[in-house]
C-alpha cells in the first residue's frame, strides 16, 4: 500500500512547501482533498427556518433545544430534551413542518470544504484519474505563498477514495509549536551572549537541533508539570502524571506521549510505579526484555509488536508490518492467518522453548497470552516514530522555556494574539513562573509581545489588547518608528488620523488599559477626551490638506498637541475600575489585583487561603488534622493513606473569576444527566477550580454573583480516590488523586456577609486630626453602597482604651469590591474588623444517608 507521509511545518512554512511542490510537479498534478460538510441537527433547523422565512429569533429558540453535545443527532436529542420532542410533535403546523423537514435533511451534504492538511501529488495529470474542481474559498488571513495554494485544484473524491484509485495522499500540517519555536529563536537574536556558542548555528542564532538531550533543568521543568505551551504535554492530566513520573530521559517523554491516549492511559500508573522502582519490572518471556526494557516491560509502541513478532516467531519485515496493519484495522481474517503463523514460529524457535516453556502446553499457554494482549493493545497502539517526533519537539520547546522563559513565553503568547480564549491563560502562566508583566505602552510596546531588556519580564504587545488587533498595532508601531515617540493623546490622534485601522474603539481600549500611562496616568481623562481628540485630528488633517494654515499657526498647533493642554481635566477611574478594565481588555490583571483592598476581609472571614490549598504539604497537614470520614472509610476499605480518608470543611471569600457550565454526555439510552459547573475562584493569594455538582448548581445557578464580583463559598476539600480499570468493582489498589474543592453553597458576598458577621467595625484613633472628616467620608461612602451589614465605629485612645461610638441611626452597607476599594482610601485595612461567626454553612447541610 501507499506509505503514510505526515510532515509538520511552521504555519508560514506550509504555504511555501505547497508553492514548491506545485512548481516542481505542476499545478495539474497537485491538489487539495475535498471534504463534505453535513447538516447537523442545529444547523438543519436554522437552514430550514431561513428557507421557510420563519422568524429568526424563533428559529434560534428551536435550535437551542438541541443539547450542546458534539455530534448529537435528532434521535438522541429527542430523548434527551422533552422540549425538542414537543417541537417535533407540535400542533403548530409551521413548527411541525419545520422540524419534520429538518429531521429529513439531517446528515445531508451541506457544502464542500477543503481538508485541513491533505494534499494529493500525482505522477500523471489528475484529470486522468479523478474529477477535480476549483478550490473553495476558505477565507481568513492569507499567509505568504497562500495565493499559490488557493490556485490549487481540489479533488471531488474525499480522502476515503483517493488511495484506492492509486494516488498518494500526503499530510502537510501547519504546526503552531514550530512557529513558536522559530519566533523564540528570533527574539533571542544572533550571537546572544546568553546562548552558548555550542548551540549556535552558522548564522549566530540558536539552533534547536543542537540542544543537548540530557539537560537537567528541562527534565525538572517537565517534572514540575510546568508544561503549558509544550506540544501534547500541556493538559492537566498529563501534568499530573509527569509530576508522578519525574522523567529523566527523552525515552520517558516518548513513552508518556504514546501512553497518554484513550486506552493505553490505563497503563500509566503501572508505568510510573515501575519507573520509580516501587513495582518490579517483569517480562512474559526473557526474549521480550530486549525490546521492552526501555518501557519497563510494558508494550507501548506498534514497533515493539513488529520487532517482537520477528524476534519470537521469525516473522519477516513484511509480515510484521502486515500484522501491525491487521491489528490496527481489525482485519480478522488476516489476524487468524497470522496467528497460526505466530504460534508455529514461536514453537519452532529454540530460544523461545526454554525453561518451563519446553513443555508445549506451557508454551502454547504463553503464546496465547501474548497474542491476546497484542490484540487488546492493537486498537490503541501508537507509532513510536510519531511519539519520538512529538516528544522531541516538546523537549526542544521545554528547553527554551527552562532557559529562556521570557523569550519563549513572548513567542507563545504572540501565537495566540486574537484568540482571547487562550491568550489570557498563557499570560497568567507567564506571571506564575515569575515573569513581570508590563502594561502595553504606545511608546514602548511592539505589535507582538516582547521581552524586557533584562529578559526578566514581558512587555504586553499592542496587538494583544482586545479590540485593537494586529493591523492597528502595526500601524501604531510603524508611525512611532517613522516620527518618533508620541507626545500625547492629541499628537497620537493627529499622526494616525489617516489610518483606517486606528479608530475610536481602538483608542478607547488603549486608554482603558493604560497604554498612555507613561504620558498621562489619568486613564479616565484620556478616555473621555477621545471625541475631542479625534475631532481635533480631523480638523488638523483637513487644514493640512487645504494648505490654508500658515507656518506660525502650524507651530502653535504642534505646541498645543504635544502636551495635551487642551484636554478637559477629570477625576480618574477608581483603582478597581482600572484593574477591571485591564482584566476585560487584556484577560489578566497587570498593575495590581482588585482583591488587594480585600486582604483583611479574606483573612478574617475565610477559613483557609487558596494558596494553602495549592501547597500539597500544607493542604495535607490540614486534612490530617480532621477526623476520619466514616463514609470514605466504608466506601474505600482498602485505602491506607489517611490523607484520602478525611474532608476539610471550608468557607472562602473570593472573586468568581470564571465559570463553565458542563453538560454530561448522553447515556446509552440517549438521556442526558443534569448540568453542573466548574467555577474558577480567586482570593488574591491564589486561584483554584471548584466543582459545583448538579444538586448545588441547580440550587444556586440563578443567584450567583456576576463574574468578577465577590462571593462567599462554602464547601469541602478532599482528595480524589482513583482505581485502575480492573480494580473499580473490587475497590482494590486505590491511589490518592488530586485535591478537589467541592462547592456546597455559593452566595453573593453582600447578601451572605450579614448572616455570618454582626457588623463591619472600624477602629479610628481618637487623636487623629481629621477624625470627623474620616467618619463623614465613611458615612457618605455607606450612603452610596446601601446594604444590610451594620456599620460600627470604635474610637481608640492613646492609652489603648476603646470606646464604641454611638450614632443616631447606624448605617448599613453592601460589602463589594467597589466599596472596599473606596474604604481603603479612607482607613487602613488594619483598622477594619468583621468578627465572623464560626458557622461553615449558611444553610444547615442535609444529613447524609448513613447519618439519617
**CA distance to 6, 131, 191, per residue, from 152 (Å):** 19, 14, 41
- Residue pointed to by grid coordinates 493513606: 641
Round the average pLDDT of the chain to a whole number and report it. Answer: 88
Find the largest Cα–Cα distance for the chain.
109
- pLDDT value at position 541? 79
Of residues 66 and 540, the one with the higher pLDDT is 66
* Cα gap 520→846, rounded to integer Å: 56
* Cα gap 545→572, rounded to integer Å: 36
pTM of the model: 0.73
- pLDDT value at position 145? 47
Q: Which three cell numbers stand for residue 285?
A: 518471556
Q: Is pLDDT above 90 for 414?
A: yes
Q: Which three cell numbers stand for residue 57?
A: 429569533
Q: Which three cell numbers stand for residue 24?
A: 516542481
* Cα gap 471→479, rounded to integer Å: 12
Percentages of the chain per state (helix, strand, coil), in multiples of 5: 50, 15, 35
Mean pLDDT value of segment 331-337: 84
Of 470-479, 686-695, 828-837, the poorest mean pLDDT is in 828-837
Q: Is pLDDT above 70 for 538?
A: yes
* Cα gap 725→712, rounded to integer Å: 38
Confidence of residue 542 (pLDDT cuts 50, 70, 90): confident
- Apex 87 CA angle, 82 and 88, nearest 5: 100
Q: Could you give the percent of the chain with pLDDT greater than 90?
A: 54
Q: Is pLDDT above 60 for 3?
A: yes
- Selection from 310-314, 587-591, 612-616 with the highest mean pLDDT: 310-314
Q: Which residues contact 290 (CB under 8 A, 6 or more apart)?
A: 311
Of 18-27, 135-144, 661-670, 738-747, the poorest mean pLDDT is in 135-144
Confidence of residue 553 (pLDDT cuts 50, 70, 90): low
323-328: long-range contacts, CB 8 A cutoff, minimum separation 24: 324/378, 324/381, 325/1, 327/374, 327/375, 327/377, 327/378, 327/379, 327/381, 328/302, 328/378, 328/379, 328/381
Confidence of residue 137 (pLDDT cuts 50, 70, 90): low
- pLDDT value at position 434? 83
- pLDDT value at position 346? 96
Mean pLDDT value of segment 431-450: 91
Beta pairing partners, 120:
31, 169
| DSSP-H helix ranges across 293-444 | 302-313, 317-329, 332-347, 360-378, 384-403, 405-414, 423-432
Q: Is pLDDT above 60 for 138?
A: no
Residues 199-237 pLDDT 10s: 999 999 999 999 999 999 999 999 988 898 999 998 877
Confidence of residue 746 (pLDDT cuts 50, 70, 90): very high
- pLDDT value at position 835? 82
Confidence of residue 271 (pLDDT cuts 50, 70, 90): very high
Half-sphere exposure of 61 (CA within 13 A, CB side): 8
Characterize the bridge pairing of strands 5-9 and 30-38: unpaired
Of residues 187 and 373, the one with the higher pLDDT is 187
**CA distance to 653, 796, 837, per residue, from 832 (Å):** 16, 13, 16
Mean pLDDT value of segment 604-625: 86
Domains, the chain: 5-174 (1.10.10.1600), 302-381 (no CATH), 436-586 (no CATH), 594-749 (2.40.50), 758-833 (no CATH)
* Cα gap 763→603, rounded to integer Å: 17
Amino acid at each position: 500500500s501507499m506509505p503514510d507521509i505526515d510532515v509538520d511545518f511552521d504555519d508560514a512554512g506550509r504555504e511555501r512547501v505547497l508553492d514548491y511542490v506545485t512548481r516542481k510537479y505542476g499545478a495539474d498534478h497537485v491538489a487539495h482533498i475535498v471534504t463534505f460538510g453535513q447538516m447537523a441537527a442545529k444547523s438543519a433547523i436554522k437552514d430550514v427556518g431561513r428557507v421557510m422565512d420563519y422568524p429568526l429569533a424563533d428559529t434560534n429558540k428551536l435550535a437551542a433545544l438541541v443539547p450542546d453535545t458534539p455530534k448529537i443527532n435528532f434521535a438522541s436529542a429527542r430523548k434527551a430534551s422533552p422540549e425538542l420532542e414537543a417541537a417535533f410533535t407540535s400542533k403548530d403546523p409551521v413548527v411541525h413542518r419545520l422540524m419534520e423537514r429538518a429531521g429529513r435533511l439531517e446528515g445531508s451534504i451541506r457544502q464542500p470544504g477543503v481538508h485541513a492538511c491533505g494534499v494529493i501529488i500525482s505522477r500523471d495529470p489528475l484529470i486522468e484519474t479523478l474529477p477535480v474542481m476549483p478550490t473553495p474559498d476558505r477565507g481568513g488571513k492569507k499567509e505568504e505563498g497562500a495565493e499559490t495554494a488557493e490556485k490549487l485544484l481540489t479533488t471531488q473524491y474525499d480522502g476515503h477514495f483517493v488511495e484506492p484509485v492509486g494516488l498518494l495522499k500526503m499530510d502537510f500540517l501547519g504546526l503552531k509549536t514550530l512557529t513558536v519555536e522559530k519566533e523564540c529563536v528570533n527574539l533571542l537574536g544572533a550571537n546572544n551572549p546568553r546562548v552558548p556558542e555550542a548551540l549556535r548555528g552558522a548564522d549566530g542564532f540558536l539552533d534547536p537541533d543542537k540542544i543537548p538531550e540530557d539537560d537537567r533543568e528541562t527534565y525538572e521543568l517537565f517534572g514540575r508539570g510546568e508544561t503549558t505551551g509544550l506540544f501534547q504535554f500541556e493538559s492537566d492530566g498529563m501534568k499530573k502524571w509527569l509530576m508522578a513520573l519525574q522523567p529523566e530521559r527523552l525515552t520517558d517523554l516518548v513513552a508518556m506521549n504514546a501512553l497518554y491516549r484513550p486506552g493505553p492511559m490505563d497503563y500509566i500508573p503501572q508505568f510510573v510505579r515501575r519507573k520509580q522502582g516501587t513495582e518490579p519490572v517483569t517480562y512474559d518471556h526473557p526474549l521480550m526484555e530486549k525490546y521492552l526494557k526501555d518501557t519497563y516491560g510494558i508494550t507501548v509502541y506498534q514497533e515493539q509488536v513488529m520487532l517482537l513478532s520477528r524476534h519470537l516467531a521469525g516473522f519477516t519485515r513484511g509480515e510484521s508490518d502486515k500484522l501491525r496493519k491487521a491489528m490496527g484495522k481489525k482485519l480478522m481474517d488476516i489476524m487468524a492467518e497470522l496467528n497460526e503463523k505466530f504460534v508455529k514460529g514461536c514453537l519452532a524457535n529454540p530460544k523461545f522453548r526454554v525453561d518451563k516453556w519446553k513443555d508445549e502446553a506451557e508454551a502454547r499457554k504463553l503464546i496465547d497470552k501474548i497474542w491476546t494482549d497484542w490484540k487488546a493493545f492493537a486498537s490503541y497502539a501508537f507509532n513510536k516514530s510519531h511519539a519520538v517526533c512529538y516528544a522531541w519537539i516538546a523537549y526542544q520547546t521545554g528547553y527554551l522555556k527552562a532557559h529562556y522563559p521570557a523569550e519563549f513565553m513572548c513567542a507563545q503568547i504572540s501565537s495566540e494574539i486574537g484568540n482571547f480564549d487562550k491568550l489570557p491563560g498563557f499570560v497568567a502562566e507567564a506571571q506564575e513562573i515569575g515573569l513581570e508583566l508590563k502594561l502595553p505602552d504606545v511608546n514602548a510596546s511592539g505589535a507582538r509581545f516582547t521581552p524586557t531588556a533584562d529578559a526578566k519580564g514581558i512587555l504586553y504587545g499592542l496587538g494583544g489588547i482586545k479590540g485593537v488587533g494586529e493591523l492597528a498595532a502595526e500601524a501604531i508601531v510603524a508611525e512611532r518608528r517613522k516620527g518618533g515617540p508620541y507626545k500625547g493623546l492629541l499628537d497620537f490622534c493627529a499622526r494616525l488620523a489617516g489610518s483606517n485601522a486606528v479608530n475610536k474603539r481602538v483608542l478607547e481600549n488603549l486608554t482603558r488599559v493604560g497604554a498612555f500611562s507613561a504620558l498621562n496616568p489619568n486613564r479616565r481623562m484620556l478616555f473621555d477626551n477621545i471625541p475631542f481628540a479625534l475631532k481635533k485630528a480631523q480638523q488638523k488633517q483637513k487644514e493640512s490638506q487645504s494648505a490654508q494654515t500658515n507656518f506660525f499657526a502650524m507651530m502653535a498647533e504642534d505646541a498645543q498637541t504635544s502636551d495635551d493642554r487642551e484636554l478637559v481635566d477629570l477625576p480618574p477611574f477608581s483603582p478597581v475600575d482600572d484593574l477591571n478594565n485591564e482584566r476585560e481588555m487584556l484577560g489578566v490583571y497587570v498593575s495590581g489585583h482588585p482583591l488587594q483592598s480585600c486582604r483583611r476581609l479574606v483573612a478574617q472571614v475565610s477559613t483557609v487561603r487558596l494558596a494553602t490549598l495549592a501547597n500539597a504539604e500544607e493542604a495535607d497537614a490540614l486534612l490530617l488534622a480532621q477526623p476520619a470520614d466514616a463514609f470514605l472509610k466504608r466506601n474505600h476499605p482498602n485505602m491506607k493513606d489517611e490523607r484520602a480518608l478525611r474532608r476539610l470543611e471550608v468557607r472562602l471569600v473570593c472573586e468568581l473569576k470564571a465559570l463553565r457550565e458542563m453538560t454530561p454526555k448522553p447515556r446509552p439510552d440517549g438521556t442526558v444527566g443534569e448540568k453542573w459547573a466548574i467555577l474558577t475562584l480567586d482570593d488574591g493569594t491564589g486561584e483554584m477550580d471548584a466543582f459545583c455538582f448538579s444538586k448545588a448548581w441547580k440550587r444556586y445557578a440563578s443567584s450567583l454573583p456576576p463574574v468578577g464580583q465577590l462571593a462567599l463559598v462554602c464547601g469541602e476539600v478532599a482528595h480524589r480516590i482513583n482505581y485502575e480499570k480492573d480494580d473499580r468493582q473490587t475497590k482494590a489498589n486505590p491511589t490518592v488523586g488530586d485535591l478537589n474543592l467541592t462547592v456546597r453553597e455559593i452566595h453573593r458576598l453582600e447578601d451572605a456577609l450579614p448572616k455570618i458577621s454582626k457588623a463591619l467595625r472600624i477602629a479610628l484613633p481618637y487623636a487623629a486630626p481629621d477624625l470627623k472628616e474620616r467618619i463623614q467620608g465613611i458615612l457618605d461612602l455607606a450612603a452610596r453602597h446601601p446594604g444590610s451589614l451594620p456599620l460600627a465605629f470604635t474610637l481608640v485612645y492613646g492609652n489603648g482604651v476603646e470606646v464604641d461610638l454611638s450614632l443616631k441611626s447606624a448605617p448599613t452597607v453592601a460589602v463589594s469590591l467597589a466599596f472596599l476599594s473606596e474604604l481603603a482610601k479612607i482607613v487602613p485595612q488594619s483598622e477594619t474588623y468583621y468578627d465572623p461567626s464560626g458557622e461553615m454553612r449558611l444553610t444547615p447541610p442535609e444529613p447524609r444517608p448513613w447519618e439519617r
